[in-house]
Amino acid sequence: MATILIAEARFYPHLNDMLLAGARKAIEAAGHSHETIAVPGALELPAAISLAAKSGRFCAFVALGVVIRGQTYHFEIVSEESARALMDLTLAGFAIGNGVLTVENESQAIERADPGQGDKGGHAARAALALHELREKYGA
């Protein structure tokens, strides 16, 4: 049994609760355990994962959060930089499922986050587990 870290940006708690429910369900269905940490926003997710990875306690990571377009350029910076940093960590050998939603409005976020609809939290957890299995298979 592996331990997966779920790192969540709690900027929109009601939306994150749905993502978190889907991720937890997928991890538990695969027979693994999980821990959850919260950070203020999506930009902090890569740093939190990198710091937690140094403990050696986790075999994979799930990044969860919601970024909703506002009236400024901030949306682009947050969505692009968090995705880029998570991808950098993935390419460095970390098994990370990216469940950070980047949407135009709250209704799009609900549709994607709800485990009964888009289940993006569950998808991100399954992606992290798949990468973990590949790493195990290839001895990385």
Domain assignment of residue 19, given as a range: 3-137
CATH at 129: 3.40.50.960
Q: Is 75 annotated as a binding-site member?
A: no
For 47-81, b where at least 16 C-beta lie within 10 A, e where not — what string? Answer: ebbeebbeeeebbbbbbbbbbbeeeeeebeebbee
Query: Distance between CA atoms of 140 and 13, rounded to whole angstroms?
Result: 35
Give residue-wise pLDDT tens across range 117-133. Answer: 999 999 999 999 999 99
Q: What's the total number of domains in the chain?
A: 1
pLDDT for the residue 71:
86
**86 among the known binding-site residues?**
no
112 assigned ligand-binding residue: yes
Enumerate the active-site residues.
74
Q: Give pLDDT tens digits for 65-118.
A: 999 998 888 999 999 999 999 999 999 999 999 999 999 999 999 999 999 999
- What is the pLDDT at residue 139? 80
105 labeled part of a ligand binding site: no
Q: Is 98 annotated as a binding residue?
A: yes
Question: Smallest Cα–Cα separation from 97: which of 68, 50, 63?
Answer: 63
